[in-house]
């Protein structure tokens, strides 16, 4: 599931849509909302005359035996308490959930929150389902729910045609994207003296037969059989994201046989993806840069993983296909502060130069040399100038990260989304010793003591296969910070408590003997960028301008389509209009902040502010009995020093706005009020951290090899010991280039695909029509028209 969409303009008129409605089945009078967009969703709430911590709710949604419907008790899904219901045969199942980001929510099992169904209002009749419930302890305020003191509240809703993956259990249900409808709505609460009588109709959950814990289910998959592939390889790489593709191409370049496995489907049109946009049937929603901000409204919404604790891309290219295209080249301090010897900036600079030669990023994406829709830049840059900040080019000056702003640095080339799918993968596919297999998830590495003999995979039909490595071969995990820990734990590597969850589960994972478990802190050191939002009014009429709205990107004009055909115009840009960076020095070190700025509507400027490098908050990741990953400890804002720094910086921005003739706050606030109102940046790192030695804190060594193994490696964001100053995709690519060189230096196996598979199945060059123009993406063209990285002067940054 993704964030319930938020629209201040919509919410402003939402309260008029709520009205008192008496439910004929229960006799409860609800303050009710019905979706006018045709989804058939409605929700009602009933409260006592003095609202405490409880309320009664009713979800009604169309149902033909499949799907689910849910509400968030705030306008946003992330961090909000959710109530989700679905049909399981003739029964209706429902419970409370929570989600930290754009991913499947997890069951909320806090003992202080109880949900009790009201039987007369809970049923399915073949066309609709109704779930009526008493939500005890649910009214908490803050970021979790609406406040008990609020009269007018704003909530979110979402619906899907797909039933949870385990519909019999509220504890282990898995939710796919809400593909029918979603949005915000408002309710005006009105207390009733009859509330105690209505609440008495609720039945304790423990008496309900419809919630069956996963541990009570029959394990039909416990003894699943896997076939053995006839093909073997020198390198098997799990995950075709930014790191996996780069490593795979460099391994293939060495002449050794390489298999790259990706759990998702094709993404770009050139690679066989067919999730095209409505106005052009030869580019996908992932190709078009402007769609980076509007994937939640796209025709296909299957690009996110459904088995991870938070947002991750399960598609060719990984999260580089679902992010907002920010390409923030790392500053030297990003490596120098906490990375071990061999990974300091002077060590990785040459690897960074190799990356930037193929995949440089840009602050001017439109080929015609113009920048479009610049109202937000004009207003915010004027505001920052009055604060004494200066303008830089983030691509040319990556070490300038204090009191500076820039046009956004994007991963865009030739008017299309760039990244390793376009800059590295075609080079690998031109080699006969390379094979890419999509829709194939790696479940575990197969171990014989410290030696890795291969991997076990599962395809989209559920069929499992064992694929072996050649003698001297290597398995490289590049499944990402959210998924690599799952593979490691499934391989008997990690905390014993987590491996024991797999052992007792129904996932059918065959673990090594307990004596061969490798105890490493897999899942620890989880880090992320928290995001805070400030919205400003543009008060300087000379800077006020109209802003492009969502429909101009999702249903663009002929003029903009024609510009896109020339790799130009607003469709060739992502959604940000300005980026800024600064730092604060404190007793516990220096903390950096990044801002991404756009204009959500005319006259408004919105700044998303990230606490980045220097943050000391961390969390931990574990696995569930259903084979997903989950947060054991949330990674955000859990140190006093981080909180104090955020308050200080937000107050500095707020106070500057109070004295500004350019911008003013859209609504009064303070840093102390905003410090707890954060969302995840989904910039996760650290769950298989690199270290110089097996010190109880690290999982891999400086060659990226997993401690205690002979030939298992990890190359993705999970090995990063420290948060970067900006978005993570650029630094993950730099680290991948450096890791590839280190792994290659160790040597490998036979150098040929065995058992008759010497010719890999690669995607051919596919014509791509950009508007009325046509182009063809091939290995030879993958690096054409890309400027080489400049040679740095002695002592200068390699990106400068």
- Give the pLDDT confidence score for residue 3 in this predicted structure: 34
Average pLDDT over residues 602-608: 93
Q: Which residue has the higher pLDDT, 83 or 769?
A: 83
- Give the pLDDT confidence score for residue 753 in this predicted structure: 47
Average pLDDT over residues 1-30: 58
Query: Which run of H or of E encompasses 250?
Result: helix 242-253
CA geometry: angle at 750 spanning 749 and 754, to 5°?
125
- Give the pLDDT confidence score for residue 221 in this predicted structure: 54
Which tokens belong to 41? 């969703």
Q: What tens digit of pLDDT does each residue of 372-419 get? A: 999 999 999 999 999 999 999 999 999 999 999 999 999 999 999 999
Q: Note whether 777 and 783 are within 8 A (CB).
A: no
Q: Note whether 286 and 303 are within 8 A (CB).
A: yes
Assign 448 a pLDDT band (cuts: 50, 70, 90): very high
What are the residue boundaries of the structural domains of the chain, listed by start? 8-216, 232-260+420-519+687-775, 375-418+526-552+566-680
Q: Which residue has the higher pLDDT, 638 or 794?
A: 638
- Give the pLDDT confidence score for residue 544 in this predicted structure: 63
By CB neighbour count within 10 A (0-12 exposed, 13-18 middle, 19+ buried), where does 52 fall?
A: exposed
SS3 call for 187: strand
- Inform me whether the pLDDT recorded for 171 exceeds 50: yes
Calpha distance 352→359 (Å, rounded): 10
- Inform me whether the pLDDT recorded for 201 exceeds 90: yes
Instruction: Please report the sign of the dihedral spanned by the C-alpha atoms of residue 741, residue 745, residue 748, residue 751.
Output: positive
- Inform me whether the pLDDT recorded for 17 exceeds 80: no
Q: Which residue blocks in 593-726 are alpha helix, DSSP H?
A: 640-658, 671-674
Average pLDDT over residues 304-324: 92
- Give the pLDDT confidence score for residue 751 in this predicted structure: 45
- Give the pLDDT confidence score for residue 286 in this predicted structure: 97
Q: CATH class for domain 232-260+420-519+687-775?
A: alpha beta
- Give the pLDDT confidence score for residue 4 in this predicted structure: 34
Among 4-18, 126-140, 300-314, 521-535, name the one with the lowest average pLDDT.
Answer: 4-18
- Inform me whether the pLDDT recorded for 773 exceeds 70: no
Assign 794 a pLDDT band (cuts: 50, 70, 90): very low
Assign 173 a pLDDT band (cuts: 50, 70, 90): confident
Size (the chain), residues: 800
Among 32-41, 136-145, 241-250, name the one with the lowest average pLDDT.
Answer: 32-41
CA-to-CA dists, residue 503 to 140, 308, 491, 492, 498, angstroms: 37, 19, 11, 9, 9
Q: What tens digit of pLDDT does each residue of 230-284 get? A: 999 999 999 999 999 999 999 999 999 999 999 999 999 999 999 999 999 999 9
Which positions are annotated as active-site residues?
683
Assign 18 a pLDDT band (cuts: 50, 70, 90): low
Average pLDDT over residues 286-311: 86
- Give the pLDDT confidence score for residue 253 in this predicted structure: 97
> Which of 168-172, 294-298, 540-544, 588-592 ranks highest by mean pLDDT?
588-592
Q: CATH class for domain 375-418+526-552+566-680?
A: alpha beta
Which residues does 500 contact at the CB level (< 8 Å), separation at least 6? none
- Inform me whether the pLDDT recorded for 164 exceeds 90: no
Which tokens belong to 655? 């106070």
Calpha distance 325→348 (Å, rounded): 23
- Give the pLDDT confidence score for residue 12 in this predicted structure: 32
Long-range contacts, stretch 171-174, CB < 8 angstroms, 24+ apart: 171/107, 171/109, 171/211, 171/213, 171/214, 172/107, 172/213, 172/214, 172/624, 172/625, 172/626, 173/84, 173/86, 173/93, 173/107, 174/104, 174/306, 174/307, 174/626, 174/628
- Inform me whether the pLDDT recorded for 733 exceeds 80: yes
- Give the pLDDT confidence score for residue 549 in this predicted structure: 86
- Inform me whether the pLDDT recorded for 444 exceeds 80: yes
Q: Note whether 93 and 175 are within 8 A (CB).
A: no
Q: What tens digit of pLDDT does each residue of 539-560 get? A: 987 666 678 888 899 899 999 9
Among 36-45, 134-143, 649-658, name the one with the lowest average pLDDT.
Answer: 36-45
Assign 711 a pLDDT band (cuts: 50, 70, 90): very high
- Inform me whether the pLDDT recorded for 337 exceeds 90: yes
Calpha distance 529→684 (Å, rounded): 8
- Give the pLDDT confidence score for residue 367 in this predicted structure: 97
Q: What tens digit of pLDDT does each residue of 487-501 get? A: 999 999 999 999 999
Q: What tens digit of pLDDT does each residue of 610-628 get? A: 999 999 999 999 999 889 9
- Cβ count within 10 A of residue 431: 19
Average pLDDT over residues 724-735: 98
Compute φ and ψ for 60, nearest 5 degrees. -125, 130
CA geometry: angle at 460 spanning 433 and 444, to 5°?
65
- Give the pLDDT confidence score for residue 224 in this predicted structure: 80
Compute φ and ψ for 657, nearest 5 degrees. -65, -35
Which tokens belong to 358? 């193929």
- Give the pLDDT confidence score for residue 102 in this predicted structure: 56
Q: CATH class for domain 8-216?
A: mainly beta
- Inform me whether the pLDDT recorded for 728 exceeds 80: yes
- Give the pLDDT confidence score for residue 23 in this predicted structure: 92
- Inform me whether the pLDDT recorded for 359 exceeds 90: yes
Compute φ and ψ for 61, nearest 5 degrees. -150, 150
Supply the DSSP symbol for 516.
Answer: G
- Inform me whether the pLDDT recorded for 563 exceeds 80: yes
Q: Note whether 751 and 266 are within 8 A (CB).
A: no
**Residue % of the chain over a pLDDT of 70:** 87
Assign 763 a pLDDT band (cuts: 50, 70, 90): very low
Mean pLDDT for all residues in the chain: 87
Average pLDDT over residues 137-164: 88
- Inform me whether the pLDDT recorded for 202 exceeds 70: yes
- Give the pLDDT confidence score for residue 468 in this predicted structure: 98
- Give the pLDDT confidence score for residue 168 in this predicted structure: 81
- Give the pLDDT confidence score for residue 672 in this predicted structure: 95
- Give the pLDDT confidence score for residue 170 in this predicted structure: 84
């Amino acid at each position: 599931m993704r964030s319930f969409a938020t629209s201040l303009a919509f919410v402003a008129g939402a309260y008029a849509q709520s009205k008192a409605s008496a439910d004929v089945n229960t006799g409860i009078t609800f303050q009710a909302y019905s979706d006018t967009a045709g989804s058939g969703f409605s929700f009602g709430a009933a409260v006592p005359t003095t609202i405490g911590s409880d309320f009664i709710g009713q979800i009604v949604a169309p149902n033909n035996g499949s799907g689910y419907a849910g509400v968030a008790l705030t306008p946003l899904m992330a961090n909000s308490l959710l109530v989700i219901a679905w049909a399981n045969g003739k029964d209706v199942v429902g419970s409370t959930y929570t989600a930290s980001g754009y991913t499947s929510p997890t069951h909320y099992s806090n003992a202080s929150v109880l949900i009790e169904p009201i039987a007369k209002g809970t049923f399915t009749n073949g066309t609709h389902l109704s779930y009526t419930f008493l939500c005890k302890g649910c009214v908490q305020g803050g970021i979790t729910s609406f406040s008990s003191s609020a009269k007018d509240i704003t909530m979110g809703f979402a619906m899907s045609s797909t039933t949870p993956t385990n519909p019999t259990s509220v504890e282990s249900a898995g939710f796919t994207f809400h593909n029918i409808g979603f949005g915000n709505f408002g309710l005006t609460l009105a207390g009733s003296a009859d509330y105690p009588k209505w609440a008495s109709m609720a039945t304790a959950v423990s008496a309900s037969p419809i919630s069956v814990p996963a541990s009570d289910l029959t394990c039909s998959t416990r003894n699943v059989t896997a076939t053995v592939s006839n093909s073997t390889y020198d390198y098997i790489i799990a995950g075709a994201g930014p790191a996996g593709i780069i490593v795979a191409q460099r391994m293939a370049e060495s002449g050794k046989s390489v298999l790259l496995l990706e759990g998702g489907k094709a993404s770009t049109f050139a690679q066989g993806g067919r999730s095209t946009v409505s106005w052009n049937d030869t580019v996908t929603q992932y190709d078009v840069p402007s769609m980076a901000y509007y994937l939640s409204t796209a025709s296909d919404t299957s690009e996110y993983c459904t088995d991870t604790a938070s947002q991750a891309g399960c598609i060719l290219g990984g999260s580089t296909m679902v992010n907002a295209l920010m390409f923030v080249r790392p500053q030297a301090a990003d490596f120098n502060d906490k990375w071990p010897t061999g990974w300091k900036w002077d060590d990785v600079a040459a690897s960074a130069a190799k990356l930037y030669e193929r995949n440089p990023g840009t602050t001017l994406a439109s080929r015609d040399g113009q920048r479009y829709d610049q109202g937000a830049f004009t207003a915010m840059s004027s505001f920052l100038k009055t604060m004494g900040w200066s303008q830089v080019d983030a691509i040319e000056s990556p070490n300038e990260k204090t009191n500076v702003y820039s046009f956004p640095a994007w991963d865009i080339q030739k008017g299309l989304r760039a990244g390793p799918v376009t800059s590295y993968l075609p080079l690998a596919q031109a080699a006969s010793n390379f094979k890419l297999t999509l829709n194939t998830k790696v479940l575990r590495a197969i171990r014989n003591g410290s030696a890795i003999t291969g991997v076990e995979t599962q395809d989209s039909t559920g069929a499992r296969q064992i694929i072996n490595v050649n003698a001297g071969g290597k398995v490289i995990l590049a499944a990402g910070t959210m998924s690599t820990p799952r593979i490691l734990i499934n391989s008997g590597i990690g905390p014993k408590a987590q491996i024991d969850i797999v052992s007792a589960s129904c996932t059918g994972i065959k673990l090594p003997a307990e004596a061969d478990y490798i105890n490493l802190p897999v899942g620890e050191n989880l880090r992320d960028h928290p995001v805070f939002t400030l919205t400003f009014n543009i008060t300087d009429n000379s800077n006020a301008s109209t802003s492009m709205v969502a429909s101009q990107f999702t249903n663009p004009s002929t003029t903009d389509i024609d510009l896109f055909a020339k790799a130009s115009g607003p469709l060739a840009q992502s959604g940000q209009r300005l980026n800024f960076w600064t730092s604060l020095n404190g007793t516990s070190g220096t903390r950096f902040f990044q801002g991404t700025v756009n204009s959500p509507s005319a006259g408004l400027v919105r700044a998303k502010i990230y606490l980045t490098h220097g943050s000391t908050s961390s969390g931990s990741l574990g696995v569930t009995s259903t084979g997903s990953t989950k947060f054991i400890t949330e990674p955000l804002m859990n140190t006093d020093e981080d909180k104090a720094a955020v308050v200080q910086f937000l107050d500095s921005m707020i106070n500057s706005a109070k004295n500004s003739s350019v911008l003013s706050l859209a609504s009064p606030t303070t840093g102390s009020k905003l410090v707890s109102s954060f969302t995840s940046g989904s910039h996760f790192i650290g769950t298989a951290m690199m270290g110089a030695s097996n010190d109880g804190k690290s999982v891999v060594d400086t060659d990226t090899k997993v401690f205690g193994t002979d030939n298992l490696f990890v190359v993705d964001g999970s090995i990063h010991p420290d948060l970067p100053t900006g978005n993570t995709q650029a630094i993950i690519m730099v680290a991948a280039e450096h890791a590839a060189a280190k792994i290659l230096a160790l040597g490998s196996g036979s150098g040929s695909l065995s058992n008759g598979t010497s010719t890999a199945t690669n995607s051919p060059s596919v014509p791509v029509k950009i508007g009325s123009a046509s182009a063809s993406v091939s290995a030879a063209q993958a690096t054409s028209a890309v400027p080489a990285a400049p040679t740095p002067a002695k002592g200068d940054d390699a990106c400068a």
